[in-house]
Amino acid sequence: MTRMNYAGAVVDVLRICLREDPRFAVMGNEILGLGPERVQFEALQQEFADRIFFPPCSEAAFTALAAGAAMCGQRIFAHLGLGSFAYPAFSSIANEIAGAHYASGGTIKLPVVLHLCHGVLMGGASQHSESPQAMFWNIPGIEIALPSSARQAKGLIRTAFRSDNPTLVISHGMMFGAEDDVPEEDYAIPFGVAEILREGRDVTLVAMSRTVGTALTAAELLAAEGIEVEVIDPRTLVPFDRRSLFDSVARTGRLVVADETRLSCGVASEIAAMVAEEGFDLLKAPIIRVARPDAPVSASPQQEAAMVPTPQKIAAAVRRVMGHG
Amino acid sequence: MTHSWSAAHKTAVLERMLLIRRFEEGLVRLFEQHAFMAHYHLYIGQEATGVAVVEALSAADRIATTHRCHGHVLARGADPGRALAEILGRSTGYCGGRGGTMHLSVPELGFIATSGIVGGCIGLANGAAFALKQAAGDAVVAAFFGDGSLEEGVSYESMNFAALLSLPVVYVCENNSKGALGSVGGGFPTSVSAVKDLTDIPRCFGIPVETVDGRDVEQVFAAASRAVAHARQRKGPVFLHAVTERWAGSQPLWPELATGETDLAMAWDASRISGPHAAWYGQHDPVLLYARQLLAAGVLRQDELAAMDRSVADRIAAAGQFALDSPLPPAGALLDHVFA
Ligand SMILES: Cc1ncc(C[n+]2csc(CCOP(=O)(O)OP(=O)(O)O)c2C)c(N)n1
Ligand SMILES: [Mg+2]
């Protein structure tokens, strides 16, 4: 194990992939976000100068380029920037990438890795704070991973690289400095397998990406009150590990889903719907979603802070499903 | 169309450029004091362009702008206090604090929108031009955008459409990539284009173009006046390419006062100019250039310039205090304005 930040883990796994596959290329600007960790990328630039590309500010074009290369067997890791910058590339993703394998009757393979940064940043306002993962979840044909730690980033990107499907890896824009113990060796974390970060008998609390840390803090607060929360991180939306979710809800009988996507048609909505539809008999209380309000993000700090799940909001939701408060 | 500004007008133009400069310098200080957190972009080095283009517009004309919008809004006469309050997310800001630096916009001054999406404002400017063309009158739209916008497909689609519809839009491309370092060392992005002369792009749609020295306020004004007249006469879109040297403080991803707080005495005392930024002070800083020009022409005296600077500094200090004293909009109001 090595102590490493999230940015370092991304660099580490990209280096492994670049060394293994001489055709693999990396394309994008500010792949490690806007914070001080962004310069860690320079290590890769030095080692693989001929396979690192800084594209023009043309998200639609370079996303399609990466996909077209993948159709010819060359794998590219293409970084779209922030969630909002993926919107100009939406046609490339939704029209050209997601359905191509299906429409070709399985004859076209598209092993492209798309990456973007989501989440409420500091003062990102309406165009630099988006968390578009639920929109992409609504488009069949793309595997979607959301690492919640440096260790997960390394292992999930490794799996994305090996996949024959288009994959979308979504990092939280505020997580690049987050440190973790990361195995030095090459490893892959399979898609579709949730991680249980904390066991607890009373309430199942589902969270992904940066919200996992928030959920663990909430669980600490609640433990002090005698409420034992089980924190589950699905790690990938597509494929989704329904079994771990249902097993946990079967143990606890209660479900809270905390997520940074919006309340309506968000990640929490779909997870809640799965359990409401097929796990109703397991539930002792209604499901609660703690999600982003259905509004654009304000540039003003108090309003911005109110957009994200906090330990307090999550704890309040847990108390409600427990029937206290 | 020719122009001649009176001495008083020239002085007022310089004062406006200086106001933008001191506003931006004050903003860096506010950021350093953690008065706001957002990634922000300064207009330092481009003051001549924004002020001159806005001078060439009339009150009924409309404006669209980008993430680098502070100078445009101030050039149009926005109150520095309300503009700073917006950047600090205060309820007294022009957008009630919801827009911040990236969406600072003043509808009552003719701004249609401020988009932080590269290329985002160009299509919107076309729409404003479409509406103005349908209406009686001769109003036009100025769309300010950076050289990077010409990497986004929407810009090409928009120029094509504007040419087809002969829309009264003045595209003001502020090319600040001269001398830019780009992403080296995690720096601010710069132009990534196969096109060596950006005016080749509008030209292929038959859009008339003019390249100007974006440091020279009178030169930009003359060219902007021609461009605005073209659009006003309903002859279709026009493209103004204003080239400026990249200011050292905009080389890093996060702005820095690399050249310090502007020392206006450098306009009359060349012995104060030295060090790594001597070329900036001597040749590229548009505020110092115009101050020097007006001093040499006898339009202004040193003491008048110094007094102007003191009064601008007082205005900015008061604006900063106003912003800091203003309340933040409450969290409970975050659902306001989602819909009209
Ligand atoms: C669609 C989109 N992609 C990427 C970005 C990130 N970004 C912000 S400013 C910028 C550079 C813009 O350069 P330019 O248009 O020349 O404007 P300047 O900042 O130089 O004034 C980029 C790429 C963005 N805001 N929008
Ligand atoms: Mg530029």
Whether residue B183 lies within 8 A of chain A, CB to CB, comes out as yes
Residue identified by tokens 């030209």 is B203
Distance B267 CA to ligand 2 centre (A): 27
CB–CB of A57 and B193 under 8 A? no
Q: Within this chain, do residues A246 and A132 fall inside the same structural domain, yes or no?
A: no
Fill in the DSSP letter of residue B338: S
Domain containing residue A297: 195-322
Run of H or E including B31:
helix B7-32
Distance B43 CA to ligand 2 centre (A): 11
pLDDT band with cut points at 50, 70 and 90 for residue B1: very low
| Residues B230, B236 contacting (CB under 8 angstroms) | yes
Q: Within this chain, do residues A212 and A247 fall inside the same structural domain, yes or no?
A: yes
Q: Within this chain, do residues A307 and A244 fall inside the same structural domain, yes or no?
A: yes
Q: Within this chain, do residues A32 and A165 fall inside the same structural domain, yes or no?
A: yes
Q: What confidence score (pLDDT) does residue A49 get?
A: 96
Domain B7-323 homologous superfamily, CATH:
Thiamin diphosphate (ThDP)-binding fold, Pyr/PP domains (3.40.50.970)
Residue B339 CB neighbours (<10 A) = 6
Residue identified by tokens 């409450």 is B330
Output the ligand 1 site: residues, CB below 6 A.
Answer: A 57, 59, 81, 85, 88; B 41, 67-68, 116-118, 146-149, 176, 189
Q: Within this chain, do residues A155 and A276 fall inside the same structural domain, yes or no?
A: no
Q: Within this chain, do residues A109 and A224 fall inside the same structural domain, yes or no?
A: no
Find residue A232's DSSP bridge partners.
Answer: A196, A206
Domain's final residue, options A139, A160, A182: A182
Determine the residue of chain B that is closest to A86 in CA distance: B117
| Residues A246, A275 contacting (CB under 8 angstroms) | yes
Domain's final residue, options A127, A159, A182: A182
Does residue A188 fall inside a structural domain? no
Q: What is the average pLDDT score of chain A?
A: 98
Q: Within this chain, do residues A209 and A67 fall inside the same structural domain, yes or no?
A: no
Closest ligand relative to A58 C-alpha:
1
Q: Within this chain, do residues A6 and A101 fall inside the same structural domain, yes or no?
A: yes
- Residue A145: give its domain's CATH number: 3.40.50.970
Q: Within this chain, do residues A178 and A223 fall inside the same structural domain, yes or no?
A: no
Residue identified by tokens 């990406």 is A209
Q: What is the average pLDDT score of chain B?
A: 97
Count of H-run helices and E-run strands, chain A: 13, 14
Ligand 1 atom closest to the CA of B46, numbered from 1: 21
> Is ipTM beyond 0.90?
yes
Ligand 1 atom closest to the CA of B116, numbered from 1: 25
pLDDT at B3 over 70: no
Q: What confidence score (pLDDT) does residue A59 get?
A: 98
d(CA B340, CA B336): 9
d(CA A196, CA A72): 38
Question: Which parts of chain A sit beneath pLDDT 50?
Answer: none
Number of domains in chain A: 2
Q: Within this chain, do residues A94 and A211 fall inside the same structural domain, yes or no?
A: no
| Residues B97, B91 contacting (CB under 8 angstroms) | yes
Closest approach of chain A CAs to the CA of B194, in angstroms? 10
Determine the residue of chain B that is closest to A126 in CA distance: B99
pLDDT tens string B211-262: 999 999 999 999 999 999 999 999 999 999 999 999 999 999 999 999 999 9
Closest approach of chain A CAs to the CA of B46, in angstroms? 21
Q: Within this chain, do residues A207 and A170 fall inside the same structural domain, yes or no?
A: no
Does residue A190 fall inside a structural domain? no
Q: Which of A133, A182, A163 is nearest to A11 (CA)?
A: A182
Q: Within this chain, do residues A217 and A133 fall inside the same structural domain, yes or no?
A: no
- The CA angle B1-B144-B279, to the nearest 5 degrees, is 85
Query: How many contacts, defined by CB atoms under 8 Å, are there between A and B?
Result: 128
What residue spans define the domains of chain B? 7-323
Q: Looking at the partner chain, which of B89, B117, B335 has a beta carbon nearest the beta carbon of A293?
A: B335
Chain B environment of A127 (Cβ under 8 Å): 102-103, 115-117, 120
Average pLDDT (B311-340) is 98
